[in-house]
Amino acid sequence: MTLHSSLKLGGPADYFCRPKNRDELLLLVKICRDNDIPWMILGGGANILVADRGIRGLVIHTADLNRIERHGNTMIVEAGCDVSQASLFAMNHELQGLQWIYRMPGSLGGAIWMNARCYGSEISQILQWVEILTTQGKIERQPFDPGQWAYKKSPYQQQDLVILGAALTLGPGDKKTLQWEMKEIEADRIHKGHFKKPSAGSTFKNDRTFGAPSGKIIDLCGLRGISQGGAAVSSWHGNILINQDSATSADFLALIKKVQQEVLDQKGFLLEPEVLTVGDWG
């Protein structure tokens, strides 16, 4: 799983499949459900910490489920589509509303699942409907209901279902202006060091009740640069925890807990990780 995680961490999956189309995906899920085989959906692998022991059962990688259609100001995007590719598609078709997500690692399905947010925008702001595979094996289109969404929260985080795709409502835009905005966003991500070392981007959510971004709080606690085995709080941003090339997943999880405890002791805040632990942690 080191090959399929932005952290470059994690042991092997028992089984790994990359379906070429929706029918193959539906068949794999049915086989697993009918035979009590553990399974998980993998998108861009940008926000997961896979156990050193790996993952029991089947990992279904959705990278090939990446079709995009345009219908006026609406884009219909499959869940496995890389969010930067969706952003580029919107720019090339002079549609604005997706430029903020450019160069954010991950897939559209993952962005919906976590209600991805950056630069003051979040994916729920442009959702028209989400297509899912229910636990009963039915395909449904669920209209966007703002009451079910919040900061980094979606209604799908507590449900055993599969996000298949979504319709995004965008607006008309100027291609050159959109291109300039996306280059500025890319430059800012580079400046913040998102791509210097393997990471999951921001490790902790920014809780607005804490009065400052998580990175600032971590800095004030003097934690920038501390390490645990091969994992470290980066020297350039307090909320970017990195794999220094020799980390284990256990190192990284221990570092998350160390940062949480230090911030709790010094500031009284319990930082909530964005990174999800998956697999066999023993």
pLDDT digits (tens, 9 = 90+) for 255-277: 999 999 999 999 999 999 999 99
Q: With a cut of 90, say whether residue 96 has pLDDT above it.
A: yes
Q: Is 69 a catalytic residue?
A: no
| pLDDT on residue 193 | 87
> Under CATH, what is the fold of the domain 2-61?
3.30.43
CATH class of 68-191: alpha beta
Q: Is 87 a catalytic residue?
A: no
pLDDT tens per residue, range 35-85: 999 999 999 999 999 999 999 999 999 999 999 999 999 999 999 999 999
CA neighbor of 128 nearest in space, from 141, 109, 143, 110 = 143
* Span(s) in the chain for CATH 3.30.43.10: 2-61
Q: With a cut of 90, say whether residue 208 has pLDDT above it.
A: no
* Span(s) in the chain for CATH 3.30.465.10: 68-191
CATH architecture, domain defined by 208-273: Alpha-Beta Complex (3.90)
Q: What is the pTM of this model?
A: 0.93
The answer for 49, left when phi > 0, alpha when psi is -120 to 50, beta otherwise, is beta
Which candidate in 199, 202, 214, 249 is catalytic?
202
Q: With a cut of 90, say whether residue 159 has pLDDT above it.
A: no
Which candidate in 78, 131, 181, 274 is catalytic?
274
pLDDT tens per residue, range 231-251: 999 999 999 999 998 999 999
pLDDT category of residue 5 using cuts at 50, 70 and 90:
very high
Tokens 């160390």, residue located: 258
Task: Give the chain's mean pLDDT.
Answer: 96
